[in-house]
């Protein structure tokens, strides 16, 4: 069972990784003067946060 959980977390980690180079981000956000506005959370981050919290709360210290 532990192998499945590790595999599941690995799958989530690699499926949500997006490769963006600095040049791509600069090209997308040339009109933005403030760099803090470039680094904003995406729409699906709260859903991932809830899912990971739910999984960790259920299986934490469980044997």
Domain-by-domain residue ranges, the chain? 39-63
Which pTM does this prediction carry? 0.35
Q: Is the pLDDT of residue 63 over 60?
A: no
Mind listing the pLDDT tens digit for each residue in 12-25? 777 666 666 667 77
pLDDT of 53 over the 80 cut: yes
**Would the CA dihedral through 29, 34, 38, 44 be positive or negative?**
negative
pLDDT at 7 over 80: yes
| Integer Cα distance of 53 and 58 in angstroms | 9
DSSP assigned state of 36: G
């Amino acid at each position: 069972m532990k192998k499945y959980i590790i595999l599941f977390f690995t799958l989530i980690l690699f499926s949500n990784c997006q490769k963006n180079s600095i040049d791509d981000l600069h090209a997308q956000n040339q009109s933005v003067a403030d760099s803090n506005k470039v680094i904003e959370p995406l729409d699906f981050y709260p859903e991932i946060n809830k899912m990971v919290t739910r999984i960790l709360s259920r299986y934490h210290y469980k044997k």
